[in-house]
Amino acid sequence: MKGINGIWQDRKRILGLPITFTKYTLTEDRLFRETGLLNLKEEEVLLYRVRDLEVRRSLGQRIFGVGTVCVHSSDKTTPHLDLINIKNPREVKEAIFREVERVKEERRMRTTELVDDGDQDEYDDDME
């Protein structure tokens, strides 16, 4: 991905070594995954669309010092983007989180979560 200045870059690793053709790049406003050798596929998620982040580390991943960061977004074409077998997955997750919060703050986006507690309001009763 020439010409893109990334905040963070890594490759998918096998046995802890970066010998695959999958590249990950975090920029100021997007997260990219590029796969393939001859036929390249590039996917991206706009950071302001990221909804949730999680880290997964199997026993094998822990042995080789890698993990998977799962990015859940509201993007229709890429609602789920996994950064598989990367070094320092917790630090990467935190870096993505900081950039997501910064981008959302710049765009003056408000995040709200709807919690269904099972109770109905008086307003809901009046609508029936």
pLDDT tens digit at each of 128 positions of the chain: 555 667 899 999 998 888 899 999 999 999 999 999 999 999 999 999 999 999 999 999 999 999 999 999 998 998 999 999 999 999 999 999 999 999 999 888 765 543 444 444 444 444 44
CATH class of residue range 8-107: mainly beta
Buried/exposed code over 62-80 (b: 16+ C-beta within 10 A; e: otherwise) = eeeebbbbbbebebeeeee
pLDDT at position 125, please? 47
pLDDT at position 16, please? 87
Please state the pTM of the whole predicted model. Answer: 0.78
Indicate the SS3 state at residue 124: helix
95: burial class by Cβ within 10 Å (0-12, 13-18, 19+)? middle
1: burial class by Cβ within 10 Å (0-12, 13-18, 19+)? middle
Interior CA angle at 68 toward 62 and 70, to 5°? 150
Indicate the SS3 state at residue 1: coil
Q: Where are the domains of the chain?
A: 8-107
The pair of three-digit structure tokens given for residue 100, joined into one six-digit string: 């997501």
pLDDT at position 109, please? 74
